[in-house]
Chains A and B, each alone.
Chain A
Amino acid sequence: MSERTAVIASRVGLHARPAGIFVAAVGELPLEVTIAMAGEPADDAMDASSILSIMSLGASNGDTVVLRAEGEGAEEALDSLVKILETDLDAE
């Protein structure tokens, strides 16, 4: 199981637009990726390919989230997802 943490950079948090971009990126991966708030048990992690799960996470700007995935290419995949979360998508 690979694991990465990311700090949400979007000023308004992980809401519709940034969440949409993130979910679309997860959807392109051949892996199952989960997302959880830092400090929460891995069992409570949510499906990162679900925009509604991502939004219900309620991650605000500055919050730390944990991404997890297993399988071939998981390390690289998670690195690319962290990059998305740590970019202020509202600024673009």
Chain B
Amino acid sequence: MIVQTLSGSAGAGQAPADQAETGRTFSGVGVSPGRIIGSILLMPKAVREPAVGEQLVAGTSAEDASALLRTAAKAVQTNLTARSSSASGTGREVLEATALMANDPMLVKAAVKLINNGASAERAIWDAAASVAEMLHNLGGYMAERATDVLDVRGRIVAELRGVPAPGIPYSDTPFVLVGEDLAPADTATLDPAKVMALVTSSGGPQSHTAIIARALGLPAVVAAVGVDSLTDGTLVFVDGAAGTVLVDPGGDEVALAKAWETTTAALAVFDGTGRMKDGHLVPLLSNVGGAKDAVKAAAAGAQGVGLLRTEFCFLERDTEPTIAEQVEAYRGVFDAFPGKKVVVRTLDAGADKPLPFLTDASEPNPALGVRGYRTDFTSPGVLERQLQAIAQATEGTEAQVWVMAPMISTAEEAEHFASLCAAAGLKTPGVMVEVPSAALTSASILEHVDFVSLGTNDLTQYAMAADRQLGPLAGLNTPWQPAVLQLIRLTVAGSRDEGHNKPVGVCGEAAADPALAVVLVGLGVTTLSMTARALSAVAAVLASVTLPEAEQLAKLALTAHSAADARRIVREKLPILNTLGL
């Protein structure tokens, strides 16, 4: 038969990927639950920088190169304008402005001048845009933020000149499954949750930016699925964000599973605002937020307070420290969303993956082990004290119960010093984060000086396992299911009990958003859980299905498991509700 002959020869030669790959399963790490079927679009690789000093190819005149550049700039402008007309709100305005930049007379003129001096078109636009971006950056404020747009436009023009797909998240009229190597923080801004059905990456770990974005947006996601980026655009896949699998060309079973998930999400959309277990034991469920807008959303989702207010939003992308007045306004917006409820403010956590020009030293050889978090007070004293003053001022006149905690505390002495700074600022409830294993091991001494601790499981895992959280090959090590990490959590709770005042031990890391792990954490003695607002209903539903003694039993099994995978499997097997709900 002709069809057989065709597919036979295709199989031996250049098979279309979707035929050769039919039924193939890629296994990765499931980082955000959900089961969907969709066709994929690949995230193009970042645009490679043209060689420094790259010259016009012999035989190409400056006029020809300039004409090509103008055509490319115009094409990018047309494309962005077309996209802006189908966007709405802020997205539309940003695209309209970016479209104007693509064919900007100043930018194009500067590039043409470089071409006339012998530079290749790619190198010319690269350098011309770099100078413009630097100039905008130096202007600071709003202009500095636009510098990124100029660099985005530059990448698009170079891609157009090379005839390769534009960088960044691909654009499509219809929803798709985004497949790539890993997402950068900058991609979050352009990720439209109405268009992206699921995220699948070949690299990255459970704490990677991709995972965090996916959980925040409630998108099913699988990371570290090696080889998945060899699929071609348009391939139909089934993504199971709980199991961590991606199946090419799904069949009837998967269609049924995806249908069932739709029903589940509808049922899971509500959290009644009280975290409680089957036996009535209360576990307050709070939310992690990064600003007033987040806080309003979290309150609407039923969060019983804020377990982690990331204050970096006031500081990032700035060249200078924000004033106390600016900070007061920013914090108050969050406090106002939670009258009568607890809001735990984490003081500035700069350094490592969140550098700040006025605080951190970008040349540190090992930033994760460098001057970051609370430690920036050693090198830039004053910033923390002013932030505490701002928090205290913002507290006046609000009804929120404001608690304050410092990140990256390693010793009881540091905790004592932080508590004294809080007292001086008039803040009544000081606490610290437990992210460094030394803090977990000495929590009893630490809690003699502060009123509570909150476990940051992302960093605690990275430090306990000595595994960088962004590295795909270490994804297996970098999970809070590691029995060693669970032991550190157990010891933190034990330290609190030894101290004798039953001071609260919360979790505000990504671990709290995993419904199965949430049960284990409560079983280990953790008193409150704080997570992305999206995860509240799922965690509440699973917690409500077990009693505290059952959770304690599951925690014991996880602690003594031989591996993270075993711990996860054993606990999940004892929680049938997970499978019923597809979590």
Contact = CB atoms under 8 A, between A and B. Distances in A.
11 contacts: A16-B93, A17-B93, A20-B100, A23-B100, A46-B106, A47-B105, A50-B104, A51-B101, A53-B104, A56-B106, A56-B143
Interface of B: 93-94, 96-97, 100-101, 104-107, 132, 135-136, 139, 142-143, 146, 149-150
Interface residues of A, number: 19
A52 B106 contact: yes
Contacts of B93: 16-17, 20
Contact of A52 (B94, B142, B150): B150
A52 B139 contact: no
Contacts of A58: 139, 143
B100 A55 contact: no
Given A15-B142, A16-B146, A58-B143, A52 B132 contact: yes
A-B residue pairs, 3 tightest by C-beta: A50-B106, A15-B142, A20-B97
A87 to B, nearest CB: 16
Contacts of B150: 52
Nearest to A60: B141
Contact of A51 (B94, B104, B142): B104
A55 B237 CA distance: 45
- Chief secondary structure at chain A's binding surface: helix
A26 to B, nearest CB: 10
B146 A55 contact: yes
Given A15-B143, A16-B142, A58-B143, A52 B97 contact: no
Contact of A24 (B100, B105, B136, B142): B100
Given A52-B107, A56-B136, A13 B142 contact: yes
Given A50-B105, A55-B143, A16 B94 contact: yes
Contacts of A15: 142-143, 146
Contacts of A56: 106, 132, 135-136, 139, 143
Contacts of B104: 50-53
Nearest to B93: A17
Contacts of A12: 142
B97 A51 contact: yes
Contacts of A47: 105-106
A51 B104 CA distance: 7
Interface in A23-78: 23-24, 46-47, 49-53, 55-56, 58
- Most chain B CB atoms below 10 A, which of A16, A20, A24, A52: A52
A15 B101 CA distance: 12
A50 B73 CA distance: 14
A8 interface: no
B135 A20 contact: no
A15 B437 CA distance: 46
A20 B97 CA distance: 5
A85 interface: no
A20 B94 CA distance: 9
- Most chain A CB atoms below 10 A, which of B96, B97, B136: B97
A50 B105 CA distance: 6
B137 to A, nearest CB: 11
Contacts of A84: none
A16 to B, nearest CB: 4
A9 interface: no
A13 B97 CA distance: 15
A82 interface: no
Nearest to B105: A50
Given A20-B93, A50-B105, 10 more contacts: A12-B142, A16-B97, A16-B142, A46-B106, A51-B97, A51-B100, A52-B101, A52-B106, A55-B143, A58-B143
Contacts of B135: 56
B97 A17 contact: yes
